[in-house]
């Protein structure tokens, strides 16, 4: 497993999006989607929702900040995942507006959700969030890192 995580991390570092994934499910039509995602601290996961499925996140290596929002973009709560101060795993309900931010180089998260795979349509990308690849997206990531620094040193707290 460490070799796979290292390979994923190397691919994420070389990727313009600063992330890379490895599917463990046999096809995109599988009823359960399972994948490892290497995410570097610069990556931007645009806030979005999955109306049709719950999602389970497990920190395999490194640390992440999970942020949930209301429909207008106000922070509902945040949780640290991984590291000495974070939860090992976290599951959330369908329809939750959210983003995940990598807080450390070499971080890898494991994601499980119901299939089949459905690309996130524009209607499920948060209209109040910046598009990927914009200066505003980089600013959003920087704000997430700053918010993580303000959290008390224990697992998950409301903001």
Reported as a single tens digit per residue, the pLDDT across 58-115 is 999 999 999 999 999 999 999 999 998 899 999 999 999 999 999 999 999 999 999 9
Reported as a single tens digit per residue, the pLDDT across 8-43 is 999 999 999 999 999 999 999 999 999 999 999 999
CA of 100: how far to CAs of 2, 43, 44, 90, 110, in Å? 22, 9, 8, 12, 12
Domain spanning 2-150, CATH class: mainly beta
Measuring CA to CA, which residue among 124, 128, 109, 111 is closest to residue 8? Answer: 109
Q: In 4-74, which ranges are E strands?
A: 19-23, 32-39, 55-61, 63-69
pLDDT for 151: 87
pLDDT for 154: 54
> The pTM is what?
0.92
Q: State the DSSP string of 69-119.
A: E-TTS-EEEEEEEETTTSBSEEEE-TT-EEEEEE-STTEEEEEEEESS---
Report how far Cα 24 is from the mean position of its chain's Cα atoms: 17
Measuring CA to CA, which residue among 101, 99, 12, 25 is closest to residue 63? Answer: 101
């Amino acid at each position: 497993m460490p070799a796979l995580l290292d390979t994923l991390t190397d691919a994420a570092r070389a990727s313009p999006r600063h992330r890379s994934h490895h599917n463990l499910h046999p096809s995109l039509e599988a009823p359960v989607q399972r994948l490892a995602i290497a995410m570097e601290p610069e990556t931007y996961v645009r806030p979005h929702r999955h109306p049709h499925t719950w999602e389970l996140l497990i920190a395999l290596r490194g640390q992440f900040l999970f942020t949930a929002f209301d429909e207008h973009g106000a922070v509902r709560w945040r949780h640290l995942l991984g590291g000495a101060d974070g939860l090992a795993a976290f599951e959330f309900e369908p329809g939750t507006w959210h983003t995940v931010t990598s807080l450390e180089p070499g971080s890898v998260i494991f994601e499980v959700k119901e299939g089949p795979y459905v690309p996130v349509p524009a209607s499920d990308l948060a209209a109040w969030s910046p598009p990927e690849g914009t200066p505003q997206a980089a600013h959003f990531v920087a704000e997430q890192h700053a918010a993580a620094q303000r959290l008390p040193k224990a697992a998950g707290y409301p903001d």
